[in-house]
Amino acid sequence: GEDVEQSLFLSVREGDSSVINCTYTDSSSTYLYWYKQEPGAGLQLLTYIFSNMDMKQDQRLTVLLNKKDKHLSLRIADTQTGDSAIYFCAEGNAGNNRKLIWGLGTSLAVNP
């Protein structure tokens, strides 16, 4: 069945780069998303990538997609304390754009 997996925790020092990884199983995924959720808040779309792309860069964020291995990563450069949050990976299918399949989220802790 469809599944998305992420490591649950990541701790980095302020100023370092953070890399959050995600694997998925649905080979027909068309869109892959990264969302950020701060405590008690909703989900904020950070970025998304189409499955025919290998990389997307947006300011401090770099998304890498290895479609062969079904592996997605989010790199945050110069991580700040304000980046502390839970980061969710989600995948969707343009042909079945009725739902997103989500990972459990990676809790990023940024230490001063």
Partner 1 sequence: ETGVTQSPTHLIKTRGQQVTLRCSSQSGHNTVSWYQQALGQGPQFIFQYYREEENGRGNFPPRFSGLQFPNYSSELNVNALELDDSALYLCASSSPGYGYTFGSGTRLTVV
Using CB under 8 A as the criterion, which residues of the chain lie in contact with partner 1 when the complex forms? 4, 31, 33, 35, 40-45, 48, 88, 90, 94, 96-105
- 14/47 with CB nearer partner 1: 47
Nearest distance from C-beta of residue 86 to partner 1, angstroms: 9
- Tell me the residue ranges of DSSP E strands in 38-84: 43-50, 55-58, 61-66, 71-76
Please, what is the Cα angle at 104 between 30 and 67, to 5 degrees?
30
Identity of the residue, 76 or 90, whose beta carbon is nearer to partner 1 in the bound complex:
90
62 token code pair: 């770099």
Least CB distance from residue 81 to partner 1, whole Å? 22
Report which of 27, 17, 33, 24 is spatially closest to residue 87, judged by C-alpha positions: 33
As a whole number of angstroms, the distance between CA 38 and CA 40 comes to 6
In terms of CB distance, is 12 or 31 closer to partner 1? 31
Q: How far is the CB of 30 from partner 1 (least distance, A)?
A: 10
